[in-house]
């Protein structure tokens, strides 16, 4: 069986997969997550053939699935300029955040550190962008485990318009993340107002934009302190 789990606000991703394959079921998994499950043999074979040659991270499990169904595994090629692969990766493992201190909207993709993720090259996808790569060691005190992750970050002011233009052509299926990316253009107009007086019309416009940015599809999450005062 093949399964894909997403946050409930990103359920559109699961419906996109289901509509593409014309099979499978979507069910609520937890209060905040939904899961798409495909157990139909013909459907699994069709899906494996469809994405064969495009798998760059979970390679070992994909190879195992291909072997089970006697499918010849195809090695993936370099991720080329304007490839929609990046958009798919953001849908599943990306986060679009506001860095208030540095007054910019950033894109981060964080995945488990493996030989495949360490060799993943996303530097050619968005021409002229500044991609930074970080490696982290994280500890789960409760389970006494150590996790290794790698983060691909588009986190400079100059990246913002480049991100906006790329995702305008390569639409995200996560409405939550897509809204945030598409907010970049308006943010670029308003970000100069951050240092205006707090009671000025300019700063109020800036602050109202940030509140809307945080609250969209995120109504129950409390605002950060700098937007309350």
Structural domain contains residue 195 = yes
For 123-206, strand residue ranges (E) read: 131-140, 145-154
Structural domain contains residue 65 = no
Structural domain contains residue 18 = no
Structural domain contains residue 32 = no
Instruction: Give yes or no for a contact between 10 and 27, defined as CB atoms under 8 angstroms apart.
Output: no
Structural domain contains residue 29 = no
pLDDT in tens, 140-170: 766 778 889 999 999 999 999 999 999 999 9
Report the C-alpha gap between 48 and 62 in whole angstroms.
8
Q: For tokens 């897509």, what's the residue?
A: 178
Structural domain contains residue 45 = no
What is the secondary structure of 81-92 as a DSSP string? Answer: TT-THHHHHHHH
Instruction: Give yes or no for a contact between 82 and 124, defined as CB atoms under 8 angstroms apart.
Output: no
**Residue 88 burial by CB count (10 A; 0-12/13-18/19+): exposed, middle or buried?**
middle
Structural domain contains residue 46 = no
Structural domain contains residue 35 = no
What's the gap between Cα 200 and its chain centre?
Answer: 35
pLDDT in tens, 6-52: 999 899 999 999 998 899 999 999 988 999 999 989 999 999 999 99
Element (H, E) at 108: strand 104-112
How many domains in the chain? 1
| C-alpha to C-alpha distances, 132 to 19, 107, 122, 152, nearest whole angstrom | 35, 11, 10, 6
Report the C-alpha gap between 154 and 108 in whole angstroms.
6
**pTM greater than 0.85 (yes/no):** yes
Q: Which residues contact 177 (CB under 8 A, 6 or more apart)?
A: 10, 90, 91, 94, 95, 96
- The half-sphere exposure of 45 on its side-chain side, counting CA atoms within 13 A, is 8
Give the model's pLDDT for residue 40. Answer: 87
Q: Domain of 158: which CATH number?
A: 3.10.28
pLDDT in tens, 96-118: 999 999 999 999 999 999 999 99
- What is the residue range of 199's domain? 85-227
């Amino acid at each position: 069986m093949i399964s894909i789990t997403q946050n409930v606000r990103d359920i559109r991703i699961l419906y996109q997969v289901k509509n593409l394959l014309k099979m499978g079921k979507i069910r609520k998994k937890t209060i905040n997550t939904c899961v798409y499950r495909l157990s139909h043999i013909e459907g699994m074979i069709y899906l494996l053939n469809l994405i064969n040659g495009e798998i760059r991270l979970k390679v070992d499990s994909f190879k195992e699935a291909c072997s089970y169904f006697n499918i010849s595994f195809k090695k993936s090629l370099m991720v080329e300029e304007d490839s929609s692969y990046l958009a798919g990766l953001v849908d599943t493992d990306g986060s679009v955040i506001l860095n208030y201190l540095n007054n910019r909207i950033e894109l981060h993709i964080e995945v488990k550190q493996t030989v495949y993720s360490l060799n993943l090259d996303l530097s050619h996808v968005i021409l002229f962008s500044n991609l930074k790569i970080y490696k982290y060691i994280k500890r789960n005190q409760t389970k006494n485990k150590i996790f290794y992750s790698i983060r691909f970050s588009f986190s400079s002011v100059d990246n913002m318009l480049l991100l906006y233009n790329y995702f305008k052509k390569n639409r995200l299926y996560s409405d939550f993340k897509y809204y945030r990316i598409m907010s970049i253009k308006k943010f670029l107009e308003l970000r100069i107002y951050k240092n205006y007086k707090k009671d000025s019309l300019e700063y109020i416009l800036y602050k109202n934009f940030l509140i809307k940015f945080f609250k969209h599809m995120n109504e129950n999450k409390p605002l950060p302190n700098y937007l309350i005062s």
